[in-house]
C-alpha cells in the first residue's frame, strides 16, 4: 500500500488539487493562495495535483487553462504536477484490498430503487455478495461518529452511519470516487496539511475513516470560507465561471488576500504577482482567516 513520503517525515507538504471541470474562479484562487502561503510561510513544499478522474465532467482545455492561470498569477509548485488519471493502478489495488477484507462490497441498486430512500444508503446489498460486474462498490461505514479539529472551523463531528451511510468508492460505470482518490494521493504525495474550501468539510470524516482502514497517516486540515456570489451562488465545481484574466492577477491576488483576512499594504497595489506572493508569504497569518463557512464576494471589493 502507499505510504507517506519517508524522505521528509516532519516537513510541511501542502497541495492544491483542482478539478478540471471548469476554469479556476475567484474561490479556487483563494484556495490555491491559502494552501500556497500556508506551505511557503514555513518553508514547506507545495504540490499541484490535477483531479482528472471524471472525464465526462471534464471541460476540454480546462487543465491547460488552470495551469496557465496559476503560472500567470505567479505560483510555482514543487516537482511535476501529478494527474490522478495516472494513478488508476493504485486506486484499483486499494479497492481490491478493501473488498478482500470485507470492508467494501458490490452494490447493484439502481438509482430508481434508491429514489424512495433520500437519506443514507439503506444497506440493501451489504450481505448480498453480488458480482462485481456492473455494480458500484461501497465502503461499509462503522456506526460511530468521526471528529477532528479544523484549524479554522474548529471541531467538526459527523456520525458516519447515521449521516452518511455506506458510500460509493467506485461508481457503477467504473469511475473512482473523489473520496478514495484524494485519500490515497494525499498519503502517496506525503501531504501533511490539507487546505481547501469548506464545501469539503463534510467529506473529511469519510476521508478520516478511509485513512484509518487503509493505514494511512492523517493530515492536518484547514477549511477556508467558501466565496459566495451576490446571487447566493456558490463558486464551485458545477458553476462555470469565466477564466481569471492574467492582467487581473495583481488586483485579484490582493482581493484574495483580503478574503483570507490578511492586510496587504497599500504599496502592493502596483506590485507584480510574484512580489505580492513574496510579501504575503512573509506576512502570512492563518489565525486571521475568517472563522466562517461562507464569505460574500460582494464585501471583498
Q: Tell whether residue 240 is among the known ligand binding residues.
A: no
| Collapsed DSSP state (helix, strand, coil) of residue 13 | strand
Cell numbers placing 105: 462490497
Given a contact cutoff of 8 angstroms between Cβ atoms, the answer to whether 24 and 70 are in contact is: yes
Given a contact cutoff of 8 angstroms between Cβ atoms, the answer to whether 140 and 103 are in contact is: yes
Q: Which does 49 bind (CB under 5 to 8 A by kind): ligand GLU, Zn ion, none?
A: none
Ramachandran angles phi, psi of 286, nearest 5°: -65, -20
CA–centroid distance for 28 within its chain: 11
| Site for ligand GLU contains 19 (CB under 6 A) | yes
Q: Tell whether residue 163 is among the known ligand binding residues.
A: no
| Site for ligand GLU contains 18 (CB under 6 A) | yes
Comparing CB distances to Zn ion, the nearer of 94 and 135 is 135
Q: Tell whether residue 178 is among the known ligand binding residues.
A: yes
Q: How far apart are CA 224 and CA 230, in angstroms?
A: 19
Residues within window 177-206 making contact with ligand GLU, judged by CB under 6 A: 182, 196, 200
- Planar angle of CA 30, 36, 41, nearest 5 degrees: 125
Q: Which does 18 bind (CB under 5 to 8 A by kind): Zn ion, ligand GLU, none?
A: ligand GLU
Residue (of 257, 261, 233, 152) closest to 198 by Cα position: 152
Binding track, positions 229-248, relative to ligand GLU; x by CB under 6 A: --------x-----------
Q: Which does 94 bind (CB under 5 to 8 A by kind): Zn ion, ligand GLU, none?
A: none
Residue nearest to ligand GLU (CB): 196
Please give the residue ranges that form the binding site for Zn ion (CB under 5 A). Answer: 107, 109, 124-125
| Region near ligand GLU per CB under 6 A, out of 16-24, 130-138, 239-247, 258-266 | 16-24
| Collapsed DSSP state (helix, strand, coil) of residue 104 | strand
CA–centroid distance for 128 within its chain: 33
Site size toward ligand GLU, by CB under 6 A: 8
Q: Give residue for cell 469548506.
A: 198
Cell numbers placing 23: 476554469
Residues within window 40-59 making contact with ligand GLU, judged by CB under 6 A: 51
Contact set with ligand GLU (CB under 6 A): 17-19, 51, 182, 196, 200, 237
In the annotated binding site, the residues are 15-19, 51, 107, 109, 121, 125, 178, 196, 237
Amino acid at each position: 500500500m502507499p505510504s507517506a513520503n519517508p524522505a521528509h517525515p516532519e516537513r510541511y507538504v501542502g497541495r492544491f488539487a483542482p478539478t478540471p471541470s471548469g476554469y479556476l474562479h475567484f474561490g479556487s484562487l483563494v484556495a490555491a493562495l491559502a494552501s500556497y502561503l500556508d506551505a511557503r510561510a514555513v518553508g514547506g513544499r507545495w504540490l499541484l495535483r490535477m483531479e482528472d478522474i471524471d472525464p465526462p465532467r471534464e471541460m476540454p482545455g480546462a487543465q491547460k487553462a488552470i495551469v496557465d492561470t496559476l503560472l500567470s498569477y505567479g505560483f510555482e509548485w514543487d516537482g511535476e504536477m501529478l494527474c490522478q488519471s495516472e494513478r488508476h493502478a493504485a486506486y484499483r489495488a486499494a479497492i481490491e484490498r478493501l473488498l478482500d477484507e470485507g470492508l467494501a462490497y458490490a452494490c447493484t441498486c439502481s438509482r430508481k430503487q434508491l429514489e424512495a430512500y433520500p437519506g443514507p444508503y439503506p444497506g440493501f446489498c451489504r450481505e448480498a455478495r453480488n458480482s462485481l460486474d456492473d455494480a458500484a462498490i461501497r465502503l461499509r461505514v462503522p456506526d460511530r461518529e468521526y471528529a477532528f479539529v479544523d484549524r479554522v472551523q474548529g471541531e467538526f463531528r459527523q456520525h458516519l452511519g447515521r449521516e452518511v451511510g455506506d458510500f460509493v468508492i467506485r461508481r457503477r460505470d467504473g469511475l473512482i470516487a473523489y473520496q478514495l482518490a484524494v485519500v490515497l494521493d494525499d498519503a502517496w504525495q506525503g501531504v501533511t496539511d490539507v487546505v481547501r474550501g469548506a464545501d469539503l468539510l463534510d467529506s473529511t470524516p469519510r476521508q478520516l475513516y478511509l485513512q484509518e482502514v487503509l493505514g494511512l497517516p492523517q493530515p492536518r486540515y484547514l477549511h477556508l470560507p467558501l466565496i459566495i456570489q451576490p446571487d447566493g451562488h456558490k463558486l464551485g465545481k458545477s458553476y462555470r465561471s469565466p477564466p481569471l484574466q492574467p492582467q487581473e492577477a495583481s488586483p485579484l491576488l490582493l482581493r484574495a488576500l483580503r478574503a483570507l483576512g490578511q492586510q496587504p499594504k497599500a504599496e502592493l497595489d502596483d506590485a507584480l504577482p510574484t512580489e505580492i506572493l513574496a510579501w504575503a508569504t512573509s506576512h502570512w497569518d492563518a489565525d486571521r482567516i475568517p472563522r466562517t463557512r461562507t464569505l460574500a464576494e460582494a464585501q471583498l471589493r
